[in-house]
């Protein structure tokens, strides 16, 4: 198996109004189309046990959410049987536009933004006892966990398990097919930033049961699934058994 190598991505080092960064974030939407990310997320969400439905909105946090456009596509495709959602989009950069917020509202989701570092979010209430009621029904991470390694990744995953009943992560798969695909993003018109970051992302991606191995059970029972998804993705899903939604 390819060794996991995490390196700083170019986009993360650019100011949010840098023309190369703006273009690269637009490229990301095409990359998601090529990866089939929306379909993968929809399938995973529909497989979750969420019975609360109309009682209260589902509290969902997306970490490293970027401009929020990926989850917007998901929200627009979920049918009316899906619960209403109170979504918080957390990212280090303030990228969510009022137009995007309005589109979420049009499908009945409310949106809040949290601009800050996810590691600060993880450190907040880190001393919370493991069995306290979690604040989130679901945490979502798309092309995000692969930015972290070692103690930081472990701390982040631990904070999610403490603060949420569920995690759905859709990350780059670290294998030869995905690596080949990452070298071909120029074919879908990706700029130099995206082309370089795509390759770095695959090297930092996940394989096998790497995320399951990090998941802290805290003495509770979880349903864990970790698998290859689509041609290039690696999907991890954890659900606390008996979560009261």
Instruction: Please give the residue ranges that form the binding site for ligand SAM (CB under 6 A).
Output: 12, 28, 64-66, 70, 91-93, 117-119, 142-144, 147
- Phi then psi for residue 167, to 5 deg, are -135, 130
Q: How far is the CB of 245 from ligand SAM (least distance, A)?
A: 23
Dihedral through CA 99, CA 12, CA 152, CA 158, nearest 10?
10
Considering only CA atoms, which of 239, 231, 233, 184 is closest in space to residue 207? Answer: 233
- What the block records as the tokens of 51 is 């019975």
Nearer to ligand SAM, 66 or 83 (CB): 66
Closest CB to ligand SAM: residue number? 66
Q: Which is nearer to ligand SAM, 12 or 56 (CB)?
A: 12
- Show the CA angle centred on residue 30, arms to residues 2 and 6, nearest 5°: 30
Residue 59 beta carbon to ligand SAM: minimum distance, rounded to whole angstroms? 18
Answer whether 156's CB lies under 8 Å from 119's CB: yes
Beta partners for 87? 60, 111
Closer residue to ligand SAM in complex, CB, 24/240: 24
Task: Tell me the C-alpha distance between 157 and 122, whole Å.
Answer: 9
Minimum distance from residue 101 beta carbon to ligand SAM (Å): 16
Please tell me what DSSP assigns to residue 27.
Answer: H
179-187, long-range: CB < 8 A, 24+ apart: 179/2, 179/203, 181/34, 181/231, 181/232, 182/232, 185/27, 185/31, 185/34
Least CB distance from residue 122 to ligand SAM, whole Å? 9
Q: Which is closer to ligand SAM, CB of 179 or CB of 243?
A: 179
Q: Which is nearer to ligand SAM, 148 or 222 (CB)?
A: 148
* 50 versus 204: smaller Cβ distance to ligand SAM: 204
Q: How far is the CB of 27 from ligand SAM (least distance, A)?
A: 10
Q: Which is nearer to ligand SAM, 33 or 49 (CB)?
A: 33
- Alpha-carbon distance of 194 to 196, in angstroms, equals 5
**Minimum CB–partner distance for residue 53 and ligand SAM (Å):** 26
Minimum distance from residue 242 beta carbon to ligand SAM (Å): 29
- Enumerate residues 6+ apart whose C-beta is below 8 A from 102: none
């Amino acid at each position: 198996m390819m060794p996991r190598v995490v390196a700083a991505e170019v986009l993360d080092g650019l100011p949010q109004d840098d023309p190369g960064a703006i273009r690269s974030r637009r490229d990301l939407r095409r990359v998601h189309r090529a990866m089939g990310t929306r379909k993968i997320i929809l399938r995973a969400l529909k497989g979750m046990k969420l019975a609360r439905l109309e009682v209260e909105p589902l509290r969902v946090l997306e970490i490293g959410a970027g401009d929020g456009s990926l989850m917007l596509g998901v929200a627009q495709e979920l049918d009316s049987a899906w619960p209403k959602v109170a979504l918080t989009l957390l990212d280090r950069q303030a990228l969510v536009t009022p137009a995007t917020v309005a589109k979420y509202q049009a499908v009945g989701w409310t949106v809040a933004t949290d601009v800050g570092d996810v590691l600060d979010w993880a450190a907040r209430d880190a001393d919370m006892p493991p069995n306290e009621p979690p604040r989130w029904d679901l945490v979502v991470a798309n092309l995000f966990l692969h930015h972290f390694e070692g103690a930081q990744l472990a701390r982040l995953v631990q904070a999610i398990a403490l603060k949420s009943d569920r995690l759905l992560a859709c990350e780059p798969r670290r294998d030869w097919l995905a690596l080949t695909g990452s070298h071909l993003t120029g074919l879908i018109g990706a700029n130099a930033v995206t082309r370089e970051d795509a390759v770095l992302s695959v090297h930092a991606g996940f394989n096998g049961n790497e995320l399951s191995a990090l998941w802290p059970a805290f003495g509770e029972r979880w349903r864990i699934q970790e698998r290859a998804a689509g041609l290039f993705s690696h999907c991890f899903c954890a659900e606390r058994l008996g979560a009261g939604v």
